[in-house]
Structure 1
Amino acid sequence: MRPNTDSPAVAGSAAAGPMVSFDNVSKNWGENHVLKALNFEVRAGEKVSIIGPSGSGKTTILRILMTLETPTQGLVKVDGDVLWDVKAGDRPRETRQMRATRRKIGMVFQQFNLFPHMTALENIMEAPVQVLGMNKGEAKERAVELLNLVGLSKHMDHTPPQMSGGQQQRVAIARALAMRPKVLLFDEPTSALDPELIGEVLNVIRDLAHSTDMTMLMVTHEMRFAEEISDRVVMFDHGRAVESGPPAQIFKDPQEERTRTFLRAVLQH
């Protein structure tokens, strides 16, 4: 079940600059400062895991990249193109460039968000046909390839109620890949799964991380998994990046006391 890195269904990037950049990005909800003048970059092809306590701003980063949240201020670029450029007090509107840049990004959510009346195959075909204008024959061919990639070729005619949570999340991963994103985001992709189903989803993500040059950004509470698949781990707390470094440093020799405290708390369970 290892992806073919030359497959047209799994896109990567050879961009020279950062694939994702946050320049002085803040996000406030009233007096609640969720992100505080964040400066953050992800290189093309890099696999980055974001860890930290609940409410530290981790998921907000992903939601800003998906244009589900508007930053209060700051500049966000993806693959060299501006996604957000917000001056303090501005209320930016969606633009054609924003929509085009947003299409470079795919996201796998905590909840699977599949159409319950559609089969696995139809769920994967829907966005390429409706958003990219792809003909149904090509969309079906890609969907079949992706279902094989995530180990679900025998389930293509099943609807979500006929599948386990782990199978649904694997369909959701295939759906995100169907748009050929340059950046793939994961927002705690196993948090809604029963413990015995977590492994099958992590195996798919592991194969993608090890076998493709796709840029991946993952928010996770699976510390050992983050240690295994990441090029870099970033510790967040109170809207700031407290510490960033290779997994061996973060998990074996963290430099910041806040990182040490957090890891002691989560790794003892």
Structure 2
Amino acid sequence: MSADHPSAAPMVRFENVRKSYGHLTVLDDLNLDIAPNEKVAIIGPSGSGKTTVLRMLMTLEEVNDGVIWVEGDPLTHMYRDGKLVRANKRHIRQVRSKIGMVFQHFNLFPHMSAVKNCMEAPITVLGLSRDEAYERSRVLLDMVGLGDKLDHYPGQLSGGQKQRVAIARALAMRPKIMLFDEVTSALDPELVGEVLNVIRELGEAHDLTMLMVTHQMGFAKEFADRVCFFYAGKIAEQGTPDAFFGNPQNERTQQFLSAVLEAD
């Protein structure tokens, strides 16, 4: 847990979580607590298990062993007769409603305008009226700098604008936890800054717990309360950005940072 959040009960807890595909172990007995409002950057080489952490938290992947908890409630499991058993779909939907995720490839509905992309889930999942959903979506699109693009379709928007719509769409569900999976890696370099600025402002203005898988080392250093370096399905090293980037202890961390910082 971050030094900035020493006494808070975890918003997210991975307890002895394991994920494998056949003989390939992607996450190996992961234990990780994330405090309310903590901003955690997850970094590491390809295949280290980074994105799997987010996908399991979003229940896009099932755990093989262990339990994921969200705000004290089991996400992957539920209580039945006093025992933890695998969660049913209804329970998963209920707990997952606290979580929003922004993907690498926007995943917008191409036949819907920006505002309708944001309205769809609040209407169908939360039961908001069209007027309520429109007003919520309008405010959020304005917040991410797209107040003049409400009626534009994804095909009329730049990559950075599409990603900002995707962020507004996730926020429209009023999550407590936001997940960002390499949200700038599909963007042209000149568009990266505009998306990172929105995420930076979110972190400053909202009570959100945020997990970000990223290759943007500079942003991770500036934005995060804690950096977790994954290697071979485990957290090889973690710490505050100053300690992690300034004095890494693990040899594999040192090798990774040397390689990516040279590439930058």
Q: The residue matched to 1:217 in structure 2 has which SS?
A: strand
Give the TM-score normalised by structure 2.
Answer: 0.93
Counterpart amino acid of residue 241 in structure 2: P
Cα-to-partner distance string for 1:68-111 (whole Å, 9 max, x where unaligned): 0001110100111110139xxxx946332211001100000000
Counterpart amino acid of residue 102 in structure 1: R
Residues 76, 87 of structure 2: 8 Å contact kept: no
The counterpart of 2:201, out of the listed 190, 207, 214, is: 207
| 1:56 and 2:48 are equivalent in the alignment | yes
Residues 74, 85 of structure 1: 8 Å contact kept: no
The counterpart of 2:148, out of the listed 150, 154, 168, is: 154
The counterpart of 1:95, out of the listed 79, 84, 89, is: 89
Q: The residue matched to 1:197 in structure 2 has which SS?
A: helix
Cα offset, 1:210, TM superposition: 2.1
Cα RMSD of the aligned pairs, angstroms, is 1.5
Range with bigger deviation, 127-136 or 93-102: 93-102
| 1:181 and 2:178 are equivalent in the alignment | no
Equivalent residue, structure 1, for 2:17: 25
* Contiguous gaps of at least 5 residues in structure 2: 1-6, 79-84
The counterpart of 2:190, out of the listed 193, 196, 210, is: 196
| 1:267 and 2:261 are equivalent in the alignment | yes
Cα-to-partner distance string for 1:142-169 (whole Å, 9 max, x where unaligned): 0010011000000001000000000000
Cα-to-partner distance string for 1:117-155 (whole Å, 9 max, x where unaligned): 100000000000011111111100100100110000000
Q: How does 1:1-269 map to 2 (within 5 A)?
A: 16-85=8-77, 92=86, 94-269=88-263
* Contiguous gaps of at least 5 residues in structure 1: 1-14
State the distance in 2 between where 1:180 and 1:213 align. Answer: 11
Give the TM-score normalised by structure 1.
Answer: 0.91
Q: The residue matched to 1:206 in structure 2 has which SS?
A: helix
Cα offset, 1:16, TM superposition: 4.3
State the distance in 1 between where 2:227 and 2:39 align. Answer: 9
Counterpart amino acid of residue 23 in structure 1: E
- Which of structure 1's runs of 4+ aligned residues deviate more than 6 A? none
Counterpart amino acid of residue 236 in structure 2: V
Residues 77, 87 of structure 2: 8 Å contact kept: no
Counterpart amino acid of residue 28 in structure 1: S
Matched residue pairs, number?
252
